[in-house]
C-alpha cells in the first residue's frame, strides 16, 4: 500500500482496534435494546452501557450517574447551552463564551442571542488564553452560563479553568467546559475544573464517531436542563432515543484505554511534536508558532509558513493529511476565527497549518511529514 501519514488527529483519530473488537458483538450477537429490561438480551445491553458509563466517568473523575450519552459533543454542547437557557430562572439571560470556542458552542449561543439572550465573547491574548480577570465586574445576577474550552482544537492552548469556574460559581452562573480535545491528552478532572457541565466526544479519544456525552454535575445547587429531544425518557429524560449500545461500548473502551495509557501517549506525542517543530525551524525560515508553546496540548502544533498559501500547500501533499488555518470544523474556507482572535493578520492565518498527532504517530511518520512539508514550502516559495 502506498504510504500516507495522517496528522489531522484533532479532526478525528482512528478507532483503536481494541475498541472495534469490544464493539463488534453488540452489532450482531447481542442485539438487545438497553431499555428492554424484561429479557436477558436487553439486560446484557443495559449492563454494557452501565459499564461504559463507569469507564467514561472514571476518565474524568465523575460519577457514572452524571454521564448523559449523546450523539457526540456537538449535541452535548447544544444540550448544555440551550438546555440551560430553557430551564434557567427567567432573570438569567446573559452568556459568555471565549472567542475561540468551537462552533458547537458559539452557534447555539448565537442562536440564543437571536432569541433575546445576551452573548459576550471573552477575548484571548496573543498566546490564545483568556484572562479570567476580564470577567470580574461583568458577571452579575443575570448571568446564566460561562463556556470555556479546556483545550482548543486548532492551536491546542489550555485554558485557566479554575479561576473562571470560581467567578462563575460566585455569580450563580453555570460553568460549561468543552473538554473534547483535552481528555486523554492532559489530566482533566471534573472536580478540579470546577465545571457544572462537561462535553466529551468518543471519536477524539480513539472511539467511534457519533457518540459523546454531557457530564452534568449532581448535588447542590442543582443543574437544571431542558432536554432537546423528547421521547422514551432515556438518559434520565435528558436524551430520549434508543441508546447506541455498540457506540457507547466503544466509547467506554476508548475511555478505559485513555485512562490507562493517556499519559504515556501524551509524553510520546509531545516528544514527536517537538521533533516536528525543531525540524521545521531548522530547515525553513519564516516559521512562526500560533499560540502558547507552554500551555498547549502535547499533540498539537500550529504554525504559519510566511509567504505560503496553506491551502495550496495542503493540496500538493497527497500523502500527508493536515489542516489549514481556514475553519477546520466546517467545510467553509473562512479564515479561522481562532487565529483571528489571537490578532493574526489574514496573511498569517491563510498561511497557517495545523499538525495533530495521534496515539499511532511514529518518529518515522514525523520525518516523512517533515520531508514532504519542507519540500512543499520550498516549492511554493520558490
Ligand atoms: C473542541 C471541540 N468541540 C466540539 C467538537 C464537536 O464534537 P463532535 O464531533 O463529537 O460533535 C469538536 C470536534 O471537532 C471539537 O474539536
Say which CATH number the domain at 178 has.
3.40.640.10
Domain-terminating residue out of 256, 290, 322: 256
pLDDT digits (tens, 9 = 90+) for 52-110: 999 999 999 999 999 999 999 999 999 999 999 999 899 999 999 999 999 999 999 99
Query: Is the CB of 356 within 6 Å of ligand 1?
Result: no
pLDDT digits (tens, 9 = 90+) for 173-194: 999 999 999 999 999 999 999 9
pLDDT of residue 116: 96
- The arithmetic mean of pLDDT across residues 340-349, rounded, is 94
- The arithmetic mean of pLDDT across residues 282-288, rounded, is 98
Helix (H/G/I), strand (E/B), else coil: 119: strand
Query: Is the CB of 97 within 6 Å of ligand 1?
Result: no
Say if residue 140 is exposed, middle or buried (CB neighbours under 10 Å; 0-12, 13-18, 19+): exposed
Query: Is the CB of 178 within 6 Å of ligand 1?
Result: yes
pLDDT of residue 331: 58
One domain, residues 97 and 218: yes
- The arithmetic mean of pLDDT across residues 157-184, rounded, is 97
Overall pTM > 0.85? yes
pLDDT of residue 224: 97
Query: Is the CB of 102 within 6 Å of ligand 1?
Result: yes
In angstroms, the first-to-last Cα distance of the chain is 31
User: Rounded to the nearest whole angstrom, what is the distance from the C-alpha of residue 200 to the centroid of ligand 1?
Assistant: 8
- Residue 330: pLDDT over 70: no
Integer Cα distance of 37 and 42 in angstroms: 5
Domain-terminating residue out of 215, 232, 256: 256
Query: Is the CB of 246 within 6 Å of ligand 1?
Result: no
Q: What is the CATH number of the domain that holds 301?
A: 3.90.1150.10
One domain, residues 317 and 220: no
- Residue 6: pLDDT over 90: yes
Domain-terminating residue out of 256, 290, 325: 256
Q: Which secondary-structure segment (H or E) carries 216?
A: strand 212-216
Which ligand 1 atom sits nearest the alpha carbon of residue 201? 10
Question: Domain limits at 288?
Answer: 5-12+262-381
Which of 259, 174, 284 shows the shortest CA–CA distance to 225?
174
- Residue with the bigger pLDDT between 327 and 64: it is 64
Query: Is the CB of 212 within 6 Å of ligand 1?
Result: yes
Which ligand 1 atom sits nearest the alpha carbon of residue 72? 10
One domain, residues 312 and 228: no
pLDDT of residue 326: 64
Out of 40-44, 174-178, 334-338, 365-369, least confident range: 334-338
Integer Cα distance of 331 and 99 in angstroms: 20
Integer Cα distance of 10 and 357 in angstroms: 8
pLDDT of residue 335: 87
Which ligand 1 atom sits nearest the alpha carbon of residue 181? 1
Is 328 a known active-site residue?
A: yes
When pLDDT is cut at 50, 70 and 90, the band that residue 327 belongs to is low
Pocket test for ligand 1, best of 8, 68, 73 (most atoms within 8 A of CB): 73
Query: Is the CB of 73 within 6 Å of ligand 1?
Result: yes
User: Rounded to the nearest whole angstrom, what is the distance from the C-alpha of residue 283 to the centroid of ligand 1?
Assistant: 33
Query: Is the CB of 323 within 6 Å of ligand 1?
Result: no
User: Rounded to the nearest whole angstrom, what is the distance from the C-alpha of residue 101 to the centroid of ligand 1?
Assistant: 10
One domain, residues 218 and 365: no
pLDDT digits (tens, 9 = 90+) for 236-266: 999 999 999 999 999 999 999 999 999 999 9
Integer Cα distance of 244 and 27 in angstroms: 10
One domain, residues 36 and 155: yes
pLDDT of residue 382: 87
User: Rounded to the nearest whole angstrom, what is the distance from the C-alpha of residue 103 to the centroid of ligand 1?
Assistant: 8
User: Rounded to the nearest whole angstrom, what is the distance from the C-alpha of residue 153 to the centroid of ligand 1?
Assistant: 8
Percent of the chain at pLDDT exceeding 70: 97
- Residue 325: pLDDT over 80: no
One domain, residues 209 and 353: no
Query: Is the CB of 180 within 6 Å of ligand 1?
Result: yes
Q: Compute the mean pLDDT over every residue in the chain, rounded to the nearest whole number.
A: 96
The closest residue, in CA terms, to atom 13 on ligand 1 is 11
Domain count for the chain: 2
pLDDT of residue 1: 63
One domain, residues 42 and 178: yes
What residues contact 197, with CB distance under 8 A and at least 6 apart? 80, 84, 174, 175, 176, 177, 214, 215, 216, 217, 223
When pLDDT is cut at 50, 70 and 90, the band that residue 328 belongs to is very low
One domain, residues 202 and 322: no
The closest residue, in CA terms, to atom 8 on ligand 1 is 73
User: Rounded to the nearest whole angstrom, what is the distance from the C-alpha of residue 206 to the centroid of ligand 1?
Assistant: 13
One domain, residues 77 and 153: yes
Amino acid at each position: 500500500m502506498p504510504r500516507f501519514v495522517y496528522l489531522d488527529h484533532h479532526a478525528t483519530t482512528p478507532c483503536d482496534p481494541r475498541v472495534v473488537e469490544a464493539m463488534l458483538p453488540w452489532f450482531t450477537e447481542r442485539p438487545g435494546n438497553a431499555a428492554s429490561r424484561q429479557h436477558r438480551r436487553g439486560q446484557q445491553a443495559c449492563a454494557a452501557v452501565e459499564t461504559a458509563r463507569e469507564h467514561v466517568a472514571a476518565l474524568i473523575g465523575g460519577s457514572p450517574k452524571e454521564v448523559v450519552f449523546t450523539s457526540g459533543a456537538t449535541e452535548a454542547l447544544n444540550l448544555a447551552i440551550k438546555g440551560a437557557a430553557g430551564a434557567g430562572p427567567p432573570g438569567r439571560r446573559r452568556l459568555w463564551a471565549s472567542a475561540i470556542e468551537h462552533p458547537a458552542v458559539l452557534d447555539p449561543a448565537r442562536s440564543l442571542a437571536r432569541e433575546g439572550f445576551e452573548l459576550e465573547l471573552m477575548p484571548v491574548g496573543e498566546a490564545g488564553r483568556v484572562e479570567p480577570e476580564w470577567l470580574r465586574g461583568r458577571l452579575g445576577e443575570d448571568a446564566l452560563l460561562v463556556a470555556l474550552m479546556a483545550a482548543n482544537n486548532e492551536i491546542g492552548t489550555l485554558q485557566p479553568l479554575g479561576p473562571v469556574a470560581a467567578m462563575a460559581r460566585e455569580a450563580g452562573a453555570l460553568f460549561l467546559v468543552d473538554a473534547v480535545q483535552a481528555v486523554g491528552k492532559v489530566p482533566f478532572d471534573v472536580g478540579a475544573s470546577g465545571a457544572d457541565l462537561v462535553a466529551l466526544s468518543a471519536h477524539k479519544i480513539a472511539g467511534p464517531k457519533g457518540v459523546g456525552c454531557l457530564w452534568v454535575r449532581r448535588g447542590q445547587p442543582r443543574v437544571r436542563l431542558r432536554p432537546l429531544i423528547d421521547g422514551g425518557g432515556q438518559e434520565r429524560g435528558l436524551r430520549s432515543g434508543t441508546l447506541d449500545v455498540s457506540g457507547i461500548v466503544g466509547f467506554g473502551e476508548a475511555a478505559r484505554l485513555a485512562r490507562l495509557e493517556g499519559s504515556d501517549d501524551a509524553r510520546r506525542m509531545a516528544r514527536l511534536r517537538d521533533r516536528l517543530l525543531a525540524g521545521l525551524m531548522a530547515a525553513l525560515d519564516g516559521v512562526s508558532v500560533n499560540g502558547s508553546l507552554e500551555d498547549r496540548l502535547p499533540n498539537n502544533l500550529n504554525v504559519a509558513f510566511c509567504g505560503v498559501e496553506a491551502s495550496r500547500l495542503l493540496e500538493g501533499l497527497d500523502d500527508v493529511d493536515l489542516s489549514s488555518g481556514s475553519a477546520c470544523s466546517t467545510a467553509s474556507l473562512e479564515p479561522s476565527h481562532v487565529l483571528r482572535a489571537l490578532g493574526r493578520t489574514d496573511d498569517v492565518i491563510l498561511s497557517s497549518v495545523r499538525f495533530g498527532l495521534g496515539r499511532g504517530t511514529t518518529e518515522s511518520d514525523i520525518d516523512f511529514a517533515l520531508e514532504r512539508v519542507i519540500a512543499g514550502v520550498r516549492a511554493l516559495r520558490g
